[in-house]
A and B are shown apart, each in its own frame.
Chain A
Amino acid sequence: MKKKPQTEILPKEKKPFGKRLLEAGGDVLIFFVKLWAGFVKHMRKWWMCWLMILPALLALGLFRYAPMFGLVMAFQNLDYSKGIFGGDWVGFNNFKFLFQTSDAWIITRNTILYNLVFIVLGLILSVTLALALNEIRQKYFAKVTQTIFIMPHFLSMVVVSLIVYGFLSPTQGVVNNIITSNGGTMVNWYSNLKAWPFILVFVRMYCTVGFDSIIYMAVISSISQEYYEAACLDGASKIKQIFYVTLPQMRPIICINLIRALGHIMHGDFGLFYTVPRDSGMILDVTNVLDTYIYRAMLKINNPGMTTAAGMYQSVIGLIIVLLANFIIKKIDEDSAMF
């Protein structure tokens, strides 16, 4: 058998280290020069857009990212003489107070359940409102109705709490006046445990539904009329048009809003849960959420480490839920996912 001639493997020419370094440096330099050239080209074309978003970027950096360095306080005992980064490390000790209370379960339950109700009910009502407002053909009437619905969003919760109190005050309230003038017995609403879940949900919807519907109205108005015309030709009723044209077109924005809302699931609206029930102790089992607990707990202690820990806890849980929700939505409908 004839042996295959062995191919000779020639050793590569070994370049001197200095030359190789120079070449590598040159590559890097070329990379950066290209990058710079690309940047300059990009900026020449888009500089005005960048200038426009510069304030937003600065604000985002200043108020959202720069403070993140302060998160270190969540794991330290703050010492003013040593500064923000100089305190003694205490591990997760600052987080303990969130779970120390016997009400930890009630607080977590209230925070999550209320938010879920707000998200689901808020979504249904604001979409319904947007659909309804869209159907109003009289322009003037539509504008007035829309303004009436949006106005409560701009009221401070303190004002809202006074409005609610005007209705529910034990001795002067409208509701009790109606009850007593019809021979009923006065109800002390601010100690009525069963009423408050409904009152809080109602107040929240009153404040948010109108404003939230704006974004859905914008989406509805951008849907091409051709879809509706085609549906009409196929004999679709108004309801069927809503279900088979409008809502599918709104799905991406609904999903994005849902993901955004889920990010705040561990945040309780402080104004709603503290100011509206007027800090009444008797209804705490249904009004105490994470934010009100943190406020009451920290009122006398003033511990920046513990408050940082609380904020971090809420944000981390929110982030996990956002990622999870986005993952699920992506599995169901990739186009509707946020990222």
Chain B
Amino acid sequence: MKNVKRLLAVLLAALMVFSLAACKGGDDTKKGDTDGTTKIVWYLHAVNVGPGQQDMQDAVNAYLKEKGLGIEVEFHYYKQSEFKDTINTIFNAGTYMDIITIGNTGLNFDSNVVRNAFLDITDLLPKNCPETLKMLPNGALEAYSYRGKVYGMPPVKDLACWQHLMVNHDMLKDLGVEFPEKWVSYWDLLPTVYAVKEARDKKYPDKANEPLLDFQDGNNVKKWYFLDAITGSYSTPYICTTIQGIPEAMQVKGIKDDFTVFNFLETPEAITWAKTIRDLVKDGIEPFDYESYDTDKYLTFNGSHLWDENEGNLFVPQNTYNFDAQIHVSELSVATRSYMMAGGMAITAQSKNPEKALQLLELINTDQYLATTLRFGPEGKGWNDADKDNVVELTEQNSDASARYWYCWYGWITGGLATTKTPGGYPANFGEMLLARNTSAVSSSHMGFAFDTTNVQNELAACNAIYESTYKTLKLGQEDNYEQIIAEANKKLYESGLQTLIDEAQKQLDEYKQTAGK
């Protein structure tokens, strides 16, 4: 019995020791040179990660082999929210990767560039990505520059902000309200919204308590004022500048100089914005308790709302909605640094094969078959294009919207959006429309300005913490005392060093203006 106990104890201990092996950190993928091919490791995210991921990767690699570039790719797809939560840890832990998606993630491009985390690709780009560069609008690479060197590149996709609404024309017809033919920002739409609300409540009094809009994203400052935040993200717009070339009516009053750094929360426009959001909630147009919002009852797609809002789309097929949905795109396309970086990619400093990585990106942006495979999986398994009209027919296993095999439309993260075949319902010239809109966008005057926050990290950290909570409160529109909230936030921000932050940003912006000759 004693020996049995001993044996069990030894086995248990051995099991525990071996279990530690599971704690082995990260991926040990290194340079994957096998039979002369170079493995490129790419960390990226997608809206949906379907079961056909491995098939898609195999198909991509088979195609790359056929092309004879000597490249093999290993994708590490994450769901977008998961990627935002984990990429900082993955990256800081030193996990090997050649390409990293930096747009729409928790990664701060500027601070990582300062810390030499990304490779300087200024000289590598023209040699390895000549066709991609031709497709990018002016200023695209400026957005990824730091002290004259380029550290990243955008994918070929929509690179400016053009807001669009899928408007419920069934509702409009029923209530006899006209939608404005042209609109620039949400200010232009307020009279229509209130007219619809009044007409609906009159005709259907039982629906008076139902919200008409579900646009919490639409409450973002940028939907009302086109400001360009210089801290690298629109989520911190308390220090921002306006954008050159935008109609004056859209600019914050009193700020005419594009190179003046200011605190948005200190402007009268901040109060007007907060009041408008609060009024929309108070007047029952937006839900008061957004988080308890019964999406089954008031589902956007079922026609309970006046519109479904987003940005970037030029076309959305009718069959997405259960009502007569017509797209209304804002008259104004705005290209800011934030937008230009929305899907950005960088080659990591640890990459052993930067040129091959760039060649892969070039191929994705220029090769239709590759771009299409990335979106819909292997030909035959995920899609077909029997009539060669550049519009794919999805296979049976890829058609069920609730359980797609591999469907990354529109897959802006990988690029190649102007090259890919499109899904049914989209026009075959979608890519051309997109590139044309990119070119016509109004560009930020300081696209190439990157704020080096090294000297103001403490102030930025302290201000961010205050701003995070204030902005969310105002955006929900639940409180009547928005003026007091803004005043208190401003007081705390200045006590926490906002002025130092503004002064430093202004100093750097002035230097940039001088150096860039603007």
Contact = CB atoms under 8 A, between A and B. Distances in A.
B112 A297 contact: no
A62 B17 CA distance: 13
A79 B115 contact: yes
Contact of A100 (B19, B470, B473, B496): B496
A126 interface: no
A171 B116 contact: no
A103 B461 CA distance: 12
Contact of A55 (B19, B457, B461): B19
A22 interface: no
B492 interface: yes
Contacts of A46: none
B10 A101 contact: no
Given A52-B12, A302-B106, A304-B92, A165 B291 contact: yes
A302 B460 CA distance: 11
B461 A298 contact: yes
B289 A301 contact: no
B453 interface: yes
A41 interface: no
Q: How large is the interface on B (under 10, 10 to 19, 20 to 34, 35 or more residues)?
A: 35 or more
A301 B468 contact: no
Contacts, number: 149
Given A55-B16, A165-B291, A170-B288, A299 B468 contact: yes
Interface stretch (A130-138, A235-243, A276-284): A276-284
Contacts of A56: 16
A19 interface: no
B9 interface: yes
Interface string A259-286: 0000000000000000000111110100
A77 to B, nearest CB: 7
A296 B464 contact: yes
Interface stretch (B149-157, B230-238, B384-392, B502-510): B230-238
Nearest to B92: A304
Nearest to A292: B465
A58 B24 CA distance: 13
Contacts of B485: 281-282
Contacts of B319: none
A93 B458 contact: yes
Nearest to B17: A55
Given A55-B20, A81-B116, A281-B470, A301 B464 contact: yes
B76 interface: no
Interface in B466-503: 466, 468-473, 478-479, 485, 491-492, 495-497
Contact of A279 (B16, B111, B459, B469): B469
Nearest to B491: A102
B263 to A, nearest CB: 15
25 contacts: A48-B13, A54-B17, A55-B13, A55-B16, A55-B19, A77-B115, A79-B116, A81-B116, A81-B349, A100-B458, A100-B461, A169-B292, A171-B292, A279-B472, A281-B472, A299-B468, A300-B232, A300-B236, A300-B464, A301-B108, A301-B111, A301-B460, A301-B461, A301-B464, A302-B111
- For the complex of A and B, 5 pairs with smallest distance between CB atoms: A281-B469, A102-B495, A281-B473, A55-B16, A297-B461
